[in-house]
Amino acid sequence: MHVKFSFLILLCGLPSAQAQPQVTIATNPPGIQIIVDGTSYLSPRVFSWEANSTHTIGAVSSLTASGVRQTFQSWSDGGPQTHAVTIGAGNATYTATFALFYLLTASTSPTGVGSVSATPDSPDGFYPPGSVVQLLALAPAGYTFSSWSGDAFGMNLGFSLVMSAPRGVTAIFASLLSPVTIQTSPPGLTIAVDGFSYTAPKTFQWVSESSHTISAVTQGGGATRYAFTTWSDGGAVSHTVVAPSTAATYTAAFRTQYKLTTGVSAGAGAVSASPDAADGFYDAGSVAQLTPQPAAGFQLAAWGGDVSGNASPLAVYLTAPRNVSAAFGPASPCAYSLGNSTTSVSPSGDIRAVNVIAGTGCAWQAASNASWVSVVSGVSGAGNGIVRLRIEPNPNGAPRAATITLAGVPYTINQPGAGCQVSLTGPNQTLPAAAAVNQLNITANSGCQWTASVAPAWVTLPGLSVGSGSGSLAFSVGTNQDTNPRTGSVVVGGQWFPLIQKNLAPVEQFTDVPASYPFFDAVSLLKLNKITPGCGGGQYCPDAPMTRAEMAAFLVRALFGENFSFASQPNFTDVGPGHPYFAYIQKLSENGVTNGCTATTYCPDAAVTRGQMAAFVVRARLGITFADTFPYPSAALFDDVPVSNIFFPYVQKMKELGITSGCTAAQYCPNDTNTRGQMAVFLTRGFLTP
């Protein structure tokens, strides 16, 4: 038998389990770091703690991020920043309150220039929200405030800024300093600025509108100096300038001057210079004419120092300091000189005319000691005269030279070797009046050795006068201070390069030939040398055809002036004694320059072609007749004048003598009518060029 027992256990009177209190640790504003029992959290944070338990809560003192600062102020339970709390039976909240601050960042542009003041001042730049800060831009010396940027704007120096968020402002300043350069031309000379000396160029940083004194003085030592000319602003040698608001340059221009020292090395006498320089200094490139002044019983024997020869007066070109001495010897009743002392002749030979300068009645002789140089005319004479020389072609490949004696004066002739072909190109053959160094381009076959010569004294060769093959040659000209244009030449290997240099103040000689006319200077020289009076009524008629009668008058005047003799018996049936050009045509015929247009007539009214003109000019220049032969380049120099052309020798010689460069670079146009303007150029280059 089984017995079942049932037990009922009643649990009564025992306490039931209770939930733990919920404790919230918060911040105002939320999201700030808190420290609970030594561990960091971001607020708010909820903890389940047993009642009567004790815990430590704390807040970070100050937090900064992105220009925002939060600083602890107080706990809601009044406890210190870090303190212990005992948990009660119910839920609870502890809140840490923080104060908010915004950062004000102030900068300047350019960096480090000027400053920004803020009122009220904050030692660390943080301000409470809603604060109003007064900003003030402070510009340093040499700068001015321009504008604000960032959270401030406008162009006023002061700005009121409300701190409703982190703020950044920039004060922009503009420089009042301008770079001012003081320089000299040529560079490297001394200038004075505000009483202090500097070597130019010198750059200063000056405040706009400030005043400064700049000065320049003549300077240099020894025989070279630099004379002040002008300031670029037109101011006096020492004057005040006001610094501009932008970069500026002031240039003091100087002209180089060289000293000319003269003296007497032998005998008794003196030397005078024209123009006279009180201290002996002349502008670079100028020409001084030295005149010997021998004492009684003396005459100039020779120049010495930086020059040579016995020319009187002597032109000295101031390309460098010059020291010139005069040697005087016992006087003789006659003195002789030549128009030029050297020349260069082409390999094909030439006929050259040399001017002999002698006193009235002073007799002289010309002689050649070289087999290839002969005196054609002017073997002897008295007073001024002309010696014509014939130089034979050089049959050898090597260059040669000869020095002969004309009126007791040495005359040197240089001739390149056979096969040497030289052509010249360079500046416009009409040069401005100012002194200058010019470049002449030389085209010559390889191995061609050439010599260069110049005339008269105002044309000089500052460098070497000999060379080989193609290259370049520098020649200098002085300032033309004469009242008229003047002529000169450079001769290289027998090839001529005639020059005309304008004068400083050109004067129109004819009403229909203005200064702008291409042949103005050549036409002017014809009038000044009494080769033409014009066509009438104060005009020259430069574009009119040149007639054979007018051409005769021009050539004869160029050779003899108006004083010449001629046969009274007419040489041509169409030019009788009553013809206005009778004398000139007679003289031209007597000299063999023309044999007429037919066997008995001259055709005075016919126009002259360029081919015919070449024949007339070459014969007149060389002093030969229409029946004479003469040396000339054998290879055609123009495409339209072949060897078969009747005027070929004359055109070739015209080109070699530099009298023509053609109607184009490659052609001569021999059948074109020759105008009076073209005639002026031919005559100037052919008869007025030394």
| pLDDT tens column, 608-637 | 999 999 999 999 888 889 898 888 888 999
pLDDT (0 to 100) of residue 190: 92
In whole angstroms, how far apart are CA 411 and each of 304, 368, 591, 681?
19, 10, 27, 28
pLDDT at 116 over 60: yes
Q: In terms of domains, do 381 and 454 share one?
A: no
Same domain (yes/no): 341, 361: yes
Residue 168: alpha-carbon gap to chain centroid:
54
Whether 4 shows a pLDDT value over 80: the answer reads: no
Same domain, 596 and 640: yes
Domain match, 482 and 466 both: yes
The one-character DSSP state at 334 is -
pLDDT at 5: 29
Q: Inform me whether the pLDDT recorded for 7 exceeds 50.
A: no
Q: Confirm whether 582 is domain-assigned.
A: yes
668 shares a domain with 642: yes
Which domain does 29 fall in, by range?
Answer: 22-100
Q: How far apart are CA 564 and CA 385, in angstroms?
A: 15
Q: Does a structural domain hold residue 156?
A: no
Position 330 confidence tier, pLDDT thresholds 50, 70, 90 = confident
Domain check: are 630 and 664 in the same one? yes
Q: How far apart are CA 230 and CA 484, in angstroms?
A: 28
Return the CATH number at 446. 2.60.40.10
**Is 357 in a helix, a strand, or coil?**
strand
Q: Is the pLDDT of residue 13 over 60?
A: no
Separation in Å, CA 349 to CA 407, 416, 444, 497: 23, 10, 17, 17
The answer on 434 and 389 residing in a single domain is: no
Q: Which residues contact 575 (CB under 8 A, 6 or more apart)?
A: 549, 581, 582, 585, 586, 602, 604
> Which amino acid makes up residue 344?
S
Q: Are residues 449 and 529 in the same domain?
A: no
Give the domain-ending residue among 501, 532, 567: 501
Pairing of strands 54-59, 224-231: unpaired
Q: Is 348 part of any domain?
A: yes
Q: What is the mean pLDDT of residues 378-394?
A: 90
From the list 298, 659, 346, the residue with the least C-alpha distance to 492 is 346
Q: How many angstroms separate the CA atoms of 479 and 434, rounded?
A: 5
Q: Is the pTM of this model over 0.75?
A: no
Share of the chain above pLDDT 70, in %: 97
392 in a structural domain = yes
Neighbour count for residue 189 (Cβ, 10 Å): 20
Same domain, residue pair 548 and 621: yes
Q: Is residue 10 part of a domain?
A: no
Q: What's the rounded mean pLDDT across residues 354-358?
A: 89
Do 426 and 409 lie in a common domain? Answer: no
The residue from 72, 100, 128 where one domain ends is 100
Last residue of a domain, one of 356, 386, 415: 415
* 370 pLDDT more than 50: yes
Kindly tell me the burial class for residue 616, based on how many C-beta atoms sit within 10 Å of its own C-beta (0-12, 13-18, 19 or more). Answer: buried
Which of 2-16, 64-78, 370-384, 586-600 has the lowest average pLDDT?
A: 2-16
Tell which phi-psi region holds residue 298, choosing left (phi > 0), alpha (psi between -120 and 50) or beta.
Answer: beta
Q: What is the pLDDT of residue 12?
A: 37
| pLDDT tier, 18 (very low <50, low <70, confident <90, very high otherwise) | low
The average pLDDT across 209-238 equals 90
Q: Indicate if the pLDDT at residue 669 is higher than 90.
A: yes
Residue 14 covered by a domain: no
Confidence grade of residue 10 (pLDDT, cut at 50, 70, 90): very low
Q: Output the pLDDT for position 3.
A: 33
* pLDDT average, residue stretch 352-376: 89
Residues 572 and 452 in one domain: no
Same domain, 409 and 426: no
Look at residue 8 and tell me whether its pLDDT is greater than 50. Answer: no
Domain count, the chain: 4
Q: What is the mean pLDDT of the chain?
A: 89
**What pLDDT does residue 207 have?**
81
Lowest-pLDDT range of 1-15, 465-479, 482-496, 619-633 = 1-15
Least confident of 13-22, 92-101, 152-161: 13-22
Q: 548-560 vs 610-622: helix axis angle to the nearest 10?
A: 20
Residue 27 domain-assigned? yes
pLDDT band at 297 (very low <50, low <70, confident <90, very high): confident
403-434, pLDDT tens digit by residue?
999 998 999 999 999 989 898 998 888 999 99
